[in-house]
Homo-oligomer: A and B are copies of this chain.
């Protein structure tokens, strides 16, 4: 069953201890869409400028991604530039040119509205809410947010979360949103806002899934080499929603599907780990479903006791 993905499609300039790329395809919707496309049909809603390259369109459509909702407007595509610390646990933003993304108002093609799955990438909460309300017959909807919206758009964000089945954020964002340092208490406060599931991403340390009466601890995959962490969190989100869409999981079934949610978190971790193995989206140029399944089984082997 298909997944609508809303968010940024961008160009990134990235420097890590392993090298530097001045300009490459990036953006949350790009990573989410590519990762999800291994599991389910994906439909992207985003905006790019007239500089958006044909080969980047080809990469997305080559993965079967529906680009009817990829709006093209005069001007330049969103550009972000950042540099990672030596251990790659921190990064600094060197440049953010919103360009055509500054006026992004997601336009949902008619053909997207009946899709059963929705993943709202990190954009203004009001815009996320607008998209959510245009969808008919959703089985599962959720998304991501970030510190900026938590701090400056708190009321809108909380209003938006009310209609989500799941929220995917990192640990510092969970603490900021809840006002609680302890993650168990932070999660309880966030689940009170509406979502029935919360996934707290912890970078190299894995992720935790919180639901009403239980939680699931997923370790981080131990990579031999982290080449470039850009997009890992979005790839996680793509693997998570993609797997749930493939399995037809519905929010209506509630906690009955907690086992599928756990597996979705592992598939998310698998996709995030692959993303870090090359610069930008490069790993998705060659990645196969078989490699994904092999790594999923590796997760099982490394966690069984």
Contact = CB atoms under 8 A, between A and B. Distances in A.
Nearest to A296: B305
A305 B215 CA distance: 11
A208 B185 contact: no
A149 interface: no
Interface string A164-189: 00000000000000000111110000
Which of A182, A202, A218, A305 has the largest count of B CB atoms less than 10 A from its CB? A305
Contacts of A215: 222, 302
A224 B301 CA distance: 29
Contacts of A222: 183-184, 208, 215, 217
Contact of A259 (B184, B206, B259, B305): B305
Contacts of A181: 86-87
A223 B223 CA distance: 27
B219 A305 contact: no
A212 to B, nearest CB: 15
Interface in A111-157: none
Interface in A48-70: none
Given A182-B225, A222-B184, A305 B87 contact: no
Contacts of A304: 262
A154 to B, nearest CB: 22
A268 B184 CA distance: 21
Contact of A219 (B184, B214, B217, B262): B217
A76 interface: no
A90 to B, nearest CB: 14
A224 B182 contact: yes
Contacts of A220: 217
Nearest to A300: B305
Interface of A: 86-87, 181-185, 202, 205-206, 208, 214-220, 222-226, 259, 262-263, 265-266, 300-305
10 contacts: A184-B223, A206-B219, A214-B302, A215-B302, A216-B302, A217-B220, A217-B222, A217-B302, A217-B303, A265-B305
